[in-house]
Amino acid sequence: MFEKDRPYRAWEILPDTWCIDGLIANCFLLIGRERAMLVDAGMNRNDLHAFVRTITDLPVFVANTHGHFDHTGGNGYFDEVYMSAYAATEAKHVFKIGEDAREDSEYPLDYEIRIIEEGHVFDLGGRHVEAIAIPCHSPGSLAYLDLDRKILFSGDEIDPAQVLLMNYADTKGPRKRVEDHLANMRKLEARMDEIDFICPAHNGAPIVSSYIRTFITLDEKILNGEPGSTEVFSPTWHGHGRPQDPNWRRINAPGTTGVVYDVRDYPEKTDR
């Protein structure tokens, strides 16, 4: 179950690149010479800006990978917040999670959103970070590619445990499509010479860039009708009061990750 107001922890996972835990979704602090960038702001009522100040004195802004509240709940502690136009339609919708559900008034939601699009480059001073549109898990997803350190911050579109593409009941907006996720992975594959490591928002980081090709294989298996497992395990999803749906399936990569999808959208072939 979600822990109310967990204390923050941080560790330097790569040079001048910190992972901050205690937020449901991890966030990442990228420190340049002139300013710092926080990729996502998690979901915790404790003052995230005050905690970041224990790591750096540089000016800090937030760039969200997408608008789900486990990534945007701490935005209001900062003066500059950037995200896609679609993410802005979702960013202030508070998640109500299990017994620890909270009211909107418990989070700082009175902040200004600055809209960015694919191709936007943040200059941190000796460190440049490019926004890349990879919408599927969320229609507003942006990945952020650190062009100087060769690190990709993928939000929820790449994950070392699973990517959730099922159309669960509270989904708003366009349906999640495996074809879209596959196109995004091929888009990233075309730039793999610029990516050494990937930092997903859940279940551990950094991971190696070969996960991109793993997800290409998994998406192709779903589209080819390969049967998925009915034993759907999602360390991100389970424990947050979400019911299991009999229409969910998981296609697995041995020993690593998987894709969770809705079998009604992608029927399995019966001649296998």
Structural domains in the chain, CATH included, are 9-262 (3.60.15.10)
Distance in angstroms between the alpha carbons of the first and the last residue of the chain: 39
Distance, CA of 268 to CA of 1 (rounded, Å): 33
Prediction pTM value: 0.90
pLDDT in tens, 206-238: 999 999 999 999 999 999 999 999 888 666 655
C-alpha 233: how far from chain center = 18
Q: Which residue has the higher pLDDT, 255 or 61?
A: 61
Q: Which residue has the higher pLDDT, 169 or 23?
A: 23
SS3 252: strand
Q: Which residue has the higher pLDDT, 104 or 229?
A: 229
Q: Which residue has the higher pLDDT, 225 or 164?
A: 225
Q: H-type helices in 117-272, by residue range?
A: 178-189, 211-223
Of the chain, the percentage scoring pLDDT greater than 70 comes to: 85
Query: Are β-strands 114-115 and 248-252 bridged in parallel, bridged antiparallel, or unpaired?
Result: unpaired
Q: Which residue has the tokens 């959103």?
A: 113
pLDDT in tens, 235-259: 665 544 455 678 888 999 988 899 9
Average pLDDT over the chain, rounded to an integer: 88
